[in-house]
Amino acid sequence: MSEAVAQAVAERFTRLYGAGPEGVWAAPGRVNLIGEHTDYNDGFVMPFALPHTAVAAVSRRTDGLLRLHSANIGDDVDDVDDADGADGADGAGGVTELRVADLAPETDRGWTAYPAGVVWALREAGHEVTGADIHLASTVPAGAGLSSSAALEVVVALALNDLYGLGLRGWQLARLCQRAENVYVGAPVGIMDQTAAACCEAGHALFLDTRDLSQRQIPFDLAAEGMRLLVVDTQVKHAHSEGEYGKRRAGCEKGAALLGVDALRDVPYDGLEAALERLGDDEEVRRLVRHVVTEDERVERVVSLLESGRTREIGPVLTEGHVSLRDDFRISCPELDLVVDTALAEGALGARMTGGGFGGSAIVLARAADVETLTKAVQEAFARAGFTAPRVFEAVPSAGARRLV
């Protein structure tokens, strides 16, 4: 794919800005295998990169201008609930022109907040970025819990890192992109998605400790073992800036404070019962704490199963994760539950919602031979329930952010 896509994006850049780009970069969306809502609790996560990418053609400018254009981003980009600026602030399908010196947090509600936020975060961190011309195109489904926004941020950060010779490593770019999203966009997300986009490797899942960003690439080749991982995009859109995500985060922080720890990551799995007792009758906080502590343990279990070649056995652990997100963290929805219940009833090895929740996508671990039956069963169940038809595709662990040209 890379060459044809890179060329098309470069050609569009040339038509827009009158000269070819200095380079073309790509950053992927992600699926999280296990470890949900643990990242802002300093815990463990295990995402892998999708083949779907955000692609950016970029050139530097020295006059303080940031010019942004997108081929297709903005109709329903993750986390932004007002997409009126879909194709530029002029609303006429044109180029959005901003002054880097004027960039200010929470002034932009459109897709342009992501690339502009990255420029703002780089400059805030003292990096001399004097402007850029950027044209973006993305194949990461937006609003589907597959990190289309982190892909946008990371591809821009990587391009500027290369062009301005900033010498930042993948995890450093991830931190800056998270800051852009937290402060400039105003969405209180953790560090998982940006690190996944920046650091994942083809054929691997990324075992990430979000406290210190130490990482291990875990070989993850389901095809070789006669299995597949399906992504079922329920088409129910979600937005992290809408409040429920922030409420869960605040509840977890309250739990940590009540327990006298820096983060819920510090509550040991074998100390969970005692911790819950100490929380007394604050049922909501007890549920949040139970999810986070058991989810960290599930990530560690999945890592050890994969590392000892017992891949099939991760299925039930994924399903346990779903039950915890549904009943304790309370962020599932009827569509996600229907995917999971239908898939399991049809013989899936495991299934769970993935990403922030309140809609988005579920993942289904299946024997290769069962994929067709399972897909049909989920589609029929959605039709019977009167839900919008889901989009189903196979997720193959793919490369992280990279320069294409």
Mind telling me the catalytic residues?
193
Q: How far is the CB of 314 from ligand GAF (least distance, A)?
A: 17
Planar angle of CA 384, 334, 281, nearest 5 degrees: 155
Q: Which is nearer to ligand GAF, 24 or 267 (CB)?
A: 267
User: d(Cα 74, Cα 84) in Å, to the nearest integer?
Assistant: 8
Q: Which is nearer to ligand GAF, 188 or 397 (CB)?
A: 188
Q: How far is the CB of 342 from ligand GAF (least distance, A)?
A: 23
Torsion angles phi and psi, residue 60, rounded to 5:
-75, 160
Q: Which is nearer to ligand GAF, 151 or 374 (CB)?
A: 151
Contact 356, 244 (CB under 8 A): no
**How would you classify the pairing of strands 204-209 and 132-138?**
unpaired
> x/- contact string, 21-40, with ligand GAF (CB under 6 A)?
-----------x---xx-xx
Q: Which is nearer to ligand GAF, 29 or 390 (CB)?
A: 29
Q: How far is the CB of 155 from ligand GAF (least distance, A)?
A: 16
How deeply is 343 buried, as exposed, middle or buried, from its count of CB atoms within 10 A (0-12, 13-18, 19+)?
buried
Binding range to ligand GAF, per CB under 6 A, among 8-16, 90-98, 186-194, 309-317: 186-194
Say how many CA atoms lie within 13 Å of 310 toward its Cβ: 11
Query: DSSP 3-state assignment of 144?
Result: coil
Per the listing, tokens 């404070």 go with 257
Closest CA relative to residue 326, chosen from 315, 339, 343: 339
Q: Which is nearer to ligand GAF, 32 or 161 (CB)?
A: 32
Task: Please report, to the nearest 10 degrees, the dihedral formed by the alpha carbons of residues 86, 92, 93, 97 taken in order.
Answer: -80
> x/- contact string, 233-262, with ligand GAF (CB under 6 A)?
-------x----------------------
Q: Judged by CB under 6 A, does residue 355 bind ligand GAF? A: yes
Q: How far is the CB of 274 from ligand GAF (least distance, A)?
A: 26
Q: How far is the CB of 379 from ligand GAF (least distance, A)?
A: 25
The reply to whether 245 sits in an annotated binding site is yes
Count of residues in contact with ligand GAF, rule CB under 6 A: 12
Query: DSSP 3-state assignment of 148?
Result: helix
DSSP bridge pairs for 98? 66
Q: How far is the CB of 225 from ligand GAF (least distance, A)?
A: 26
The reply to whether 38 sits in an annotated binding site is yes
Q: How far is the CB of 46 from ligand GAF (least distance, A)?
A: 10
User: d(Cα 116, Cα 128) in Å, to the nearest integer?
Assistant: 14
DSSP bridge pairs for 136? 56, 70
Centre a 10 Å sphere on the Cβ of residue 25 and count the other Cβ atoms it contains. Answer: 28
User: How far from 64 is each of 16, 24, 99, 131, CA to CA, in Å?
Assistant: 19, 21, 6, 5
Q: Which is nearer to ligand GAF, 67 or 291 (CB)?
A: 291
The reply to whether 70 sits in an annotated binding site is yes
Residue partners of 124: CB distance under 8 A and separation at least 6: 179
Per CB under 6 A, the list member of 153, 193, 233, 335 interacting with ligand GAF is 193
The reply to whether 149 sits in an annotated binding site is yes
Q: Judged by CB under 6 A, does residue 356 bind ligand GAF? A: yes
Q: Judged by CB under 6 A, does residue 189 bind ligand GAF? A: yes
Query: DSSP 3-state assignment of 387?
Result: coil
Give per-residue burial for 235-255: e unless 16+ CB within 10 Å, then b: bbebbbbeeebeebbebbbbb
Per CB under 6 A, the list member of 141, 190, 359, 397 interacting with ligand GAF is 190
Q: Judged by CB under 6 A, does residue 175 bind ligand GAF? A: no
Per CB under 6 A, the list member of 192, 285, 353, 374 interacting with ligand GAF is 192
Q: Judged by CB under 6 A, does residue 133 bind ligand GAF? A: no
User: d(Cα 220, Cα 255) in Å, to the nearest integer?
Assistant: 34
Annotated binding site for substrate: 36-39, 245
Positions that interact with ligand GAF (CB under 6 A): 32, 36-37, 39-40, 189-190, 192-193, 240, 355-356
- Show binding-site residues: 36-39, 70, 143-149, 181, 245
Give the residue numbers of the binding site for ATP: 70, 143-149
